[in-house]
Amino acid sequence: MRKERRPKNWNEIKSNDSWAIFKIMGEFVNGYEKLSRIGPCVSIFGSARTKPDHKYYKLAEEIAERIVDHGYGIITGGGPGIMEAGNKGAHIAGGTSVGLNIELPFEQHDNPYIDTDKSLDFDYFFVRKVMFVKYSQGFVVMPGGFGTLDEFFEALTLIQTKKIERFPIILVGTEFWSGLLDWVKNVLLTANNNISETDLELVHIVDSADEVIQILDDFYKEFRLSPNF
């Protein structure tokens, strides 16, 4: 395993921190400039390890196609698995297909279904997450791992605390997500009163593309499409 080089002293740390600010700013500027032109989009999240013959890969592809047919583009993390399925569905349907790639030591490589002018590369997870939240009109969260959970709870927290306006957060796969939601209800809400009962209304759990589309359509009959902050 490759060992990271440790800075020699605190002065080196401070110097590195100062220069990192410019790299971070560059990622924000590039992201804002490119994504401000993509139009209304829905982000699809899920595991990079899901294979093309898996039912959730096929379902993510179907959901992406249907979302495009209803006037939205698709944003994913740009990698393989569920991300590839989302971009593939958008590509097949002739819609906007965006990939927000992140440099990782394993798993991540951009998939071939991203529009060539809409593939962005990030070093920083937090900058990438800002882009997802700012330019998405909804989150469709397929089964995944720690990264998928991170993106799900990031959006949920921002909406709960009113840092951003509400948008649909849709969990796909009752068999996968029901245990987590049961824990949220039983432990966070009932046993410890760590959240409000109304917070549970911020999340939908579904099993089909039809349900995803219905939630998006119902929400945007009432609310305006726009960047979230």
Q: What pLDDT score does 108 carry?
A: 59
CA dist., res. 225 & res. 229, Å (int): 12
Q: What is the pLDDT of residue 46?
A: 98
Is 201 within a domain? yes
The answer as to whether 225 is a domain residue is no
Residue 9 makes CB contacts below 8 A (sequence gap 6+) with none
The span from the CA of 21 to the CA of 169, in Å, is 32
pTM of the model: 0.90
Residue 185 lies in a domain: yes
The pLDDT value given to residue 109: 75
Q: Which amino acid is at 56?
A: Y
Contact partners, residue 149, CB within 8 Å, separation at least 6:
none
In a domain? residue 153:
yes
pLDDT (tens place) for every residue of the chain, 229 residues total: 455 555 556 565 556 778 889 999 999 999 999 999 999 999 999 999 999 999 999 999 999 999 999 999 999 999 999 999 999 999 999 999 999 999 876 655 789 999 999 999 999 999 999 999 999 999 999 999 999 999 999 999 999 999 999 999 999 999 999 999 999 999 999 999 999 999 999 999 999 999 999 999 999 998 777 666 5
- Which DSSP symbol is given to 52? T
Whether 39 is covered by a domain: the verdict is yes
Would you say 193 and 229 are in contact if contact means Cβ atoms under 8 Å apart? no
Please report whether residue 149 resides in a domain: yes
Domains held by the chain: number: 1
CATH at 166: 3.40.50.450
Token representation of residue 128: 């990438």
Give me the residues paired with residue 76 across strands: 99
Confidence (pLDDT) at 208: 98
In a domain, residue 229? The reply is: no
- Answer for the pair 68, 95: CB distance below 8 angstroms, yes or no: yes
User: Given this model, what pLDDT does residue 224 score?
Assistant: 74
Please tell me the distance from the alpha carbon of residue 71 to that of residue 184, in angstroms, as a whole number. Answer: 33
In a domain, 227, yes or no: no
Tokens at 46, concatenated: 């899920």
Domain residue limits at 59: 10-220
DSSP-assigned letters across all residues of 81-107 = THHHHHHHHHHHTT--EEEEEE--SSS
User: Which whole-number Å values give the CA distances from 122 to 72, 103, 156, 173, in the listed order?
Assistant: 23, 7, 23, 29
